[in-house]
């Protein structure tokens, strides 16, 4: 009796590993957009769903409750979540810095008419108008925009806690608030800095790239349990984002990057506005321009590496601005556990040399 031949069952393709990543529509989320649009995530077997969020509070809440696996986040959010700064603590970490710089400080036209050209002249205007309270804004309590707005004021001898008021305003609303006379100045990330300048509501007194060159801006943040349970996927995500960040930093790709970011599903901002910081020259809103070469940096000059020095920069800002009430003294090992340079180097080994 002849045995029936049995056809081998075709091997099934591996299921793509699904990951939900939150982001806020800002220019510094570019590596996430590029890794999605150019198929970089897909080539690494990852099925990434980008979740556009209204603001950082939403990102934080969804990360706290496990609704997102990872997120584009302010460099301070790793400390904020891990050590419970105004929230319930949830251990978190980063293995990649997404961007450096990327902000500008904008002042009102009224201040210019009063003679303000820098922080020192602003101090004189404040002293000359004791009857008036001047108001400036950052976009989040634990953000570089808040720290650097305060830093710029302090550079002119202005006490940000006594001499002026500091408000927290969502990035898309800062230009409107200034236009309505509610703000005298603000520090905000791109593209919202350029949006305000292109609308003519103010003028740029300095890029934060000039105020504090190569300051860490945004990171790729995950909950610690994601790294523990999905270590290999995490490394593939970081590798994909390093590749995307390299692409973003290539001047030959900046026009295409502006076109991708301008899509309605992402930033929904005119390409010309996005090109102000991505390509330059950077139009400062009062007829002046400056070089945009360092306006926002994604990968070059070791930008992507989550080094202890970058983590300490964040801690220094928290302490300098008296925002660290619940932050313990951090050992070198504790800092390395939050900014995971080891993961970055493991992911980097998965890529060809740049």
Question: What's the pLDDT score for residue 15?
Answer: 59
**How would residue 61 be classed by pLDDT, with cut points 50, 70 and 90?**
very high
Cis peptide upstream of residue 50 (ω within 30 degrees of 0): no
Cα dihedral 176, 177, 179, 183 sign: negative
What is the chain's length?
354
Give the pLDDT of residue 103.
Answer: 98
The string of pLDDT tens digits covering residues 318-351 is 999 998 878 888 999 999 999 999 999 999 999 9
Q: β-strands 216-223, 70-74: how paired?
A: antiparallel
155-184 pLDDT, tens digit each: 999 999 999 999 999 999 999 999 999 999
| Residue 223 confidence (pLDDT) | 97
The residue-averaged pLDDT of 236-264 equals 98
- Residues 127-147 as b/e (b if ≥16 CB within 10 A, e otherwise) read eeeeeeebbbbbbbbbbbbbb
Domains and CATH numbers, the chain: 17-100+216-278+296-348 (3.40.190.10), 103-211 (3.40.190.10)
Residue 53 has pLDDT above 50, yes or no: yes
Helix (H) or strand (E) holding 297: strand 296-297
Do residues 189 and 217 touch, judged by C-beta distance below 8 A? yes
Per-residue pLDDT band at 203 (split at 50, 70, 90): very high
The per-residue pLDDT for 3 is: 44
For the segment 137-162, the average pLDDT, to the nearest whole number, is 96
In order, the DSSP letters of 272-311 are HHHHHHHTS-EE-SSS-EE--TTSEESSTTTTT---HHHH
Provide the pLDDT for residue 325.
77
Q: Which of 11-15, 44-48, 90-94, 108-112 has the lowest mean pLDDT?
A: 11-15
What residues have CB less than 8 Å from 342, skipping those under 6 apart?
336
Give the pLDDT mean for 2-11.
Answer: 43
- Residues 187/147, Cβ–Cβ less than 8 Å: no
Q: How far is 20 from 27, CA to CA, in rounded Å?
A: 20
Region for 255 from its dihedrals, namely left if φ exceeds 0, alpha if ψ lies in -120 to 50, beta otherwise: alpha
Cβ atoms 189, 139 nearer than 8 A: yes
Mean pLDDT of the 42-61 span: 95
Secondary structure E strands in 33-90: 46-52, 70-74
Rounded to the nearest 5 degrees, what angle is found at the Cα of 64, between the Cα atoms of 59 and 65? 105
Q: Which two tokens stand for residue 351?
A: 């890529």
Q: Mean pLDDT score of the chain, rounded to an integer?
A: 94
204 neighbors 56 (Cβ within 8 angstroms): no
For range 210-235, the mean pLDDT: 97
Written as six digits, the tokens of 303 are 């930008």
- Percent helix, strand and coil across the chain, each rounded to 5? 45, 20, 40
What number of other Cβ atoms are within 10 A of residue 180's Cβ? 10
Taking a C-beta distance cutoff of 8 angstroms, is the pair 178, 196 a contact? yes
From CA 332, how far away is CA 174, in angstroms rounded? Answer: 37
Supply the pLDDT for residue 16: 63
In our burial notation (b when 16+ CB lie closer than 10 A, e otherwise), range 332-342 reads eeebbbbbbbe
On the question of pLDDT at 11 being above 80, the answer is no
């Amino acid at each position: 009796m002849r045995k029936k031949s049995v056809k081998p069952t075709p091997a099934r393709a591996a299921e793509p590993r699904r990951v939900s990543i939150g982001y806020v529509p800002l220019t510094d989320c570019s590596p996430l957009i590029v890794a999605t649009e150019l198929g970089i995530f897909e080539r690494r077997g990852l099925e990434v769903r980008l979740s556009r969020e209204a603001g950082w509070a939403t990102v934080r809440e969804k990360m706290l409750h496990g609704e997102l696996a990872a997120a584009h986040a302010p460099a301070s959010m790793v400390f904020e979540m891990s050590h419970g700064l105004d929230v319930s603590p949830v251990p978190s970490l980063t293995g990649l810095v997404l961007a450096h710089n990327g902000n500008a400080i904008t002042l009102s036209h009224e201040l210019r008419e009063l003679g303000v050209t820098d922080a020192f002249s602003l101090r004189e205007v404040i002293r000359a108008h004791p009857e008036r309270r001047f108001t400036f804004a950052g976009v989040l309590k634990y953000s570089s925009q808040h720290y650097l707005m305060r830093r710029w004021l302090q550079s002119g001898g202005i006490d940000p806690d006594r001499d002026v008021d500091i408000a927290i305003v969502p990035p898309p609303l800062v230009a409107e608030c200034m236009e309505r006379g509610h703000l005298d100045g603000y520090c905000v990330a791109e593209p919202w800095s350029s949006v305000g300048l292109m609308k003519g509501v103010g003028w740029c007194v300095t890029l934060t790239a000039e105020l504090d060159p190569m300051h860490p801006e945004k990171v790729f943040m995950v909950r610690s349990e994601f790294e523990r349970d999905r270590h290999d996927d995490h490394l593939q995500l970081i590798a994909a984002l390093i590749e995307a960040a390299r692409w973003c930093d290539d001047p030959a790709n900046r026009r295409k990057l502006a076109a991708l970011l301008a899509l309605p599903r992402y930033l929904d901002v005119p390409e010309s506005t996005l090109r102000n910081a991505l390509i330059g020259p950077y139009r400062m809103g009062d007829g002046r321009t400056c070089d945009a070469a360092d306006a926002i940096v994604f990968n070059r000059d070791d930008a992507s590496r989550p080094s202890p020095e970058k983590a300490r920069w964040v801690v220094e800002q928290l302490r300098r601005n008296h925002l660290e009430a619940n932050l313990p003294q951090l050992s070198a090992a504790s800092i390395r556990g939050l900014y995971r340079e080891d993961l970055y180097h493991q992911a980097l080994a998965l890529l060809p040399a740049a």
